A and B are shown apart, each in its own frame.
Chain A
Amino acid sequence: ETGVTQSPTHLIKTRGQQVTLRCSSQSGHNTVSWYQQALGQGPQFIFQYYREEENGRGNFPPRFSGLQFPNYSSELNVNALELDDSALYLCASSPIGGGGNEQFFGPGTRLTVL
């Protein structure tokens, strides 16, 4: 069974640029959630995708957007990057048919905005 994978591992961007992060969910999981983890803090929920549609959103501006594909993989896009967007971005998936609160996380993408 393959776990959650994310790419790239690390990324450096400059203020104002756009970035796309990618996530492949764990085998058998159809729901993908994205979290932002600033240094020294717990992860913060950005949004969740289920059946290729956004299914709930945390307190993040519209320049954070996402997609889910038919194979359940997902992308997180951030436009007009700001210095405060520097963080570890985590993708988590949960299984089909329940246990949806049990989120299984990938290793994350470390984004640095200069």
Chain B
Amino acid sequence: GQQLNQSPQSMFIQEGEDVSMNCTSSSIFNTWLWYKQDPGEGPVLLIALYKAGELTSNGRLTAQFGITRKDSFLNISASIPSDVGIYFCAGPSANAGGTSYGKLTFGQGTILTVHP
């Protein structure tokens, strides 16, 4: 089945530093989504990407849809303590039956820790 591999698995950075993380797949995705999950809560959608090569920003966050459609990148600039959490990439599954909308495959997550 489809798998998404995220790297790095965890990051420990100082407040103010920039962060980069990525997500790769063995198969093509037509949509890439980036989510953040805080402890005890559900994932919150940060950015959605729909076109190869697309670069989209949401405040200090910027994500890119890779040209090969098999990868995506998320950058966080000038990190702050509230950026702490787990960041997931996700894309629609091709093999769950019905239409593919909303049937997401998730990566294993990148755990971000920000030291003040």
Q: Which residues of A contact B (CB under 8 A)?
A: 4, 31, 33, 35, 40-45, 48, 50, 54-59, 90, 92, 94, 100-108
- Distance between Cα atoms of A107 and B41 in the complex (Å): 5
Taking a contact as CB atoms under 8 Å apart, the answer to whether A57 and B41 are in contact is: no
Which residues of B are found within 8 Å of A57, using beta-carbon distances? 96-97
10 A–B contacts from the bound complex (CB under 8 Å): A33-B102, A42-B106, A43-B43, A43-B104, A55-B97, A55-B98, A55-B99, A57-B96, A101-B33, A103-B45
- Distance between Cα atoms of A106 and B41 in the complex (Å): 8
Which residues of A are found within 8 Å of B108, using beta-carbon distances? 40-42
Which residues of B are found within 8 Å of A44, using beta-carbon distances? 106
- The dominant DSSP class at the B interface is loop
Contact string against A for B residues 89-110, beta-carbon threshold 8 Å, 1 for contact and 0 otherwise: 0101100111111111111110
Q: How many A-B residue pairs have CB under 8 A?
A: 83
Residue in contact with A100 in the complex, picked from B41, B42, B102, B106, CB distance below 8 Å: B102
Q: Which residues of B contact A (CB under 8 A)?
A: 1, 4, 31, 33, 35, 40-45, 48, 88, 90, 92-93, 96-109
Which residues of B are found within 8 Å of A101, using beta-carbon distances? 31, 33, 48, 92, 100-102, 104
**Min CB distance, A53 to chain B, in Å?**
9
The 10 closest A-B pairs by CB, nearest first: A100-B101, A42-B106, A105-B42, A56-B98, A55-B98, A56-B96, A56-B97, A101-B31, A100-B102, A94-B102
Residue in contact with B96 in the complex, picked from A31, A41, A45, A104, CB distance below 8 Å: A45
Which residues of A are found within 8 Å of B4, using beta-carbon distances? 42
**Min CB distance, B10 to chain A, in Å?**
11
**Min CB distance, A41 to chain B, in Å?**
6
- Tell whether A42 pairs with B103 under 8 Å between CB atoms, given A103-B45, A108-B41: no
Residue in contact with A31 in the complex, picked from B1, B88, B100, B101, CB distance below 8 Å: B101
- Tell whether A90 pairs with B42 under 8 Å between CB atoms, given A48-B102, A101-B102: yes
Residue in contact with A43 in the complex, picked from B48, B102, B106, CB distance below 8 Å: B106
Taking a contact as CB atoms under 8 Å apart, the answer to whether B101 and A58 are in contact is: no
- Distance between Cα atoms of A6 and B10 in the complex (Å): 29
- Distance between Cα atoms of A86 and B74 in the complex (Å): 31
